[in-house]
Amino acid sequence: MAVVAIILSLIAIAMAYIALQRTGGLKDLRQQMEHLTTKTEDAAKGARETTADILQRLEHMVRGSGAQSSDKGEKASPPHDTGSEK
């Protein structure tokens, strides 16, 4: 009975190997993985660039209004003394 089980398992392994080769084998799997990797990297790069653009605009909005007020007040008074340095 054990011999029949071993023979059936070997036949199943052989059939699985043949099915893998018919569907493209390991080369096809590697090509698909490389394609997905480049696609993911491109999407991540686009997201990074978009985020960088948004942060740059936000920086200009924040610093732009702050830079105008500091340019007008270049002769601003020194910071207030808190009295903590006694």
Give me 17's structure tokens: 């190997």
Kindly report, residue by residue over 32-68, the tens digit of the pLDDT: 899 999 999 988 988 999 999 999 999 998 888 655 5
Does 86 have pLDDT greater than 50?
no
Give me 34's structure tokens: 């490389």
Q: Is the dihedral of CA 46, 51, 52, 53 positive or negative?
A: positive
Domain ranges of the chain: 26-70
pLDDT band at 30; cut points 50, 70, 90: confident
User: How big is the chain, counted in residues?
Assistant: 86
DSSP conformational letter for 76: P
Q: Average pLDDT, stretch 5-9?
A: 96
